[in-house]
């Protein structure tokens, strides 16, 4: 069993990216909008800031009160859309309930949408058009590539159909010639699907949901879940029960989460490149 070390892959990706950034004539700009004071969001934004500083980006963290009006949020996004030195914009989720998250995400112009979550970017991904792809989905593919694990002609089962991971990953893997089964809470006989998978990706947020009974001998397992429990952070896969049956597996923590931050760095550069093509 080999661990898919996200930290190692992240370092490699960011080193390659730094080479490309040296060729540019200015620092890239990344703006993160945070609404309210969610403790988990504070941690995620801090990690994004560290990554941005490592890449010498101009990082702008705009923290808004949780009673802000939707109109004011949309006005701010519109201003950033039109600011030439801002290459990437993202709104840190979750946001307060009185705000329409879809409307706010879609207010970001597609070439600055470094989360890849606008309807335009999701549509382009589904159609195989070059676009900004959600960071976790792209991170999973890049982690597999780092370990020379080709997805072409492989049976891949994804458990979880979120807009953030499951749906974009299904499109991304299909575009890369994998045969994809997308499972979810209404899937009957889940084991029948997961046991056929050469590569199994689990992203549902349920601690230790998947054990050795769900996994084919020698499968590659990507555990996207990070669950806080009394025994500490655990994934959606029961690591101890599957470790002797799998060929490769991501650790939790230290796996996919590391890749997500690296992909945001890559997407900020890609956003800059895509916008230059449009100008």
Instruction: Provide the 10 A C-beta neighbour count for residue 177.
Output: 11
| Calpha distance 4→254 (Å, rounded) | 9
Residues carrying CATH 3.40.50.10860, the chain: 26-109
pTM: 0.95
Residue 228: predicted pLDDT: 85
pLDDT at 109 over 80: yes
The total of other beta-carbon atoms located within 10 Å of residue 213's CB is 12
Cα–Cα distances in angstroms (integers) from residue 225 to residues 159, 161, 185, 195, 235, in the given order = 11, 13, 15, 19, 5
Q: Rounded to an integer, what distance in angstroms lies between the CA atom of residue 219 and that of residue 169?
A: 18
For the chain, give every residue range classified as CATH 3.40.50.720: 135-257
Considering 10, 112, 113, 115, which one is annotated as catalytic? 115
Pair of tokens at residue 77: 């996004």
- The Cα 188–Cα 183 span in angstroms is 9
- For position 232, what pLDDT does the model report? 85
Report, in angstroms and rounded to the nearest whole number, the Rg of the chain calculated over CA atoms: 19
- For 132-181, the pLDDT digits (tens) are 999 999 999 999 999 999 999 999 999 999 999 999 999 999 999 999 99
**105 is a catalytic site residue:** no
* Mean pLDDT to the nearest integer, 250-265: 95
Structure tokens at 158: 């994804």
Ordered DSSP codes for 149-165: ---TT-EEEEE---TTT
Q: What's the pLDDT score for residue 140? A: 98
Q: At what angle do helices 256-278 and 135-146 cross, to 10 degrees?
A: 110
**Tokens read off for 21:** 């950034």
Three-state SS annotation for 97-152: CCCCHHHHHHHCCHHHECCCCCHHHHHHHHCCCCCCCCHHHHHHHHHHHHCCCCCC
pLDDT tens track for 77-94 = 999 999 999 999 999 999
pLDDT in tens, 198-238: 999 999 999 999 999 999 999 999 999 988 888 888 999 99
Average model confidence (pLDDT) across the chain: 96
Average pLDDT score over residue span 119-129: 97
What is the Cα–Cα distance from 46 to 159, expressed in whole angstroms? Answer: 29
Contact indicator for 183, 193 with CB cutoff of 8 Å: yes
* Residue 230: per-residue pLDDT: 84
Residue percentage of the chain with pLDDT more than 90: 95
* CATH architecture assigned to 26-109: 3-Layer(aba) Sandwich (3.40)
The verdict on whether 66 is a catalytic residue reads no
Handedness of CA 41, 81, 49, 267 (dihedral sign): positive
Whether residue 115 lies in the annotated active site: yes
Catalytic choice (10, 34, 48, 87): 48
Q: What is the pLDDT of residue 180?
A: 98
Q: Exposed e or buried b for every residue in 59-76, given b needs 16+ CB within 10 A?
A: bbeeebeeebeeeebeeb
CATH of 135-257, picked from 2.60.40.420, 3.30.70.260, 3.40.50.720, 3.90.650.10, is 3.40.50.720
Partner residues linked to 222 by β-bridges: 201
Phi-psi category of 154—alpha, beta or left, where left has phi over 0 and alpha has psi -120 to 50? beta
Task: Average the pLDDT over 115-143 and give the result.
Answer: 97
Give the model's confidence band at 279: pLDDT under 50 very low, under 70 low, under 90 confident, else very high: low
Catalytic residue among 10, 34, 92, 198: 92
């Amino acid at each position: 069993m080999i661990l898919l070390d996200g930290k190692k892959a992240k370092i490699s990706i960011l080193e390659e990216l730094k080479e490309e950034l040296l060729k540019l004539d200015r620092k890239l700009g990344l703006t993160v909008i945070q609404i309210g004071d969610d403790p988990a969001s504070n941690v995620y934004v801090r990690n994004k800031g560290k990554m941005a500083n490592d890449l010498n980006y101009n990082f702008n963290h705009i923290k808004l009160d949780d009673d802000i009006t939707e109109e004011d949020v949309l006005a701010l996004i519109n201003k950033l859309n039109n600011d030439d030195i801002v290459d990437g914009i993202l709104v840190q989720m979750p946001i307060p309930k009185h705000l329409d998250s879809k409307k706010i995400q879609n207010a970001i112009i597609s070439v600055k949408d470094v989360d890849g979550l606008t309807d335009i970017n999701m549509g382009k991904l589904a159609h195989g058009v070059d676009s900004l792809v959600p960071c976790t989905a792209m991170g999973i593919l890049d982690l597999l590539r780092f370990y020379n694990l080709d997805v072409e002609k492989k049976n891949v089962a994804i458990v979880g159909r979120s807009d953030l991971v499951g749906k974009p990953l299904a499109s991304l893997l299909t575009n890369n010639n994998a045969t994809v089964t997308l499972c979810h809470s209404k899937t009957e006989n889940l084991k029948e699907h997961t046991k056929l998978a050469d590569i199994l990706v689990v992203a549902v947020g349920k601690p230790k949901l998947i054990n050795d009974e769900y996994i084919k001998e020698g499968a590659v397992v990507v555990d996207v879940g990070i669950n806080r429990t009394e025994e500490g952070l655990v994934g959606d896969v029961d690591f101890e029960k599957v470790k002797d049956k799998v060929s490769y597996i991501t650790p939790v923590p230290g796996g996919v989460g590391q890749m997500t931050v690296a992909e945001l760095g890559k997407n900020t550069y890609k956003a800059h490149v895509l916008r230059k093509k449009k100008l």
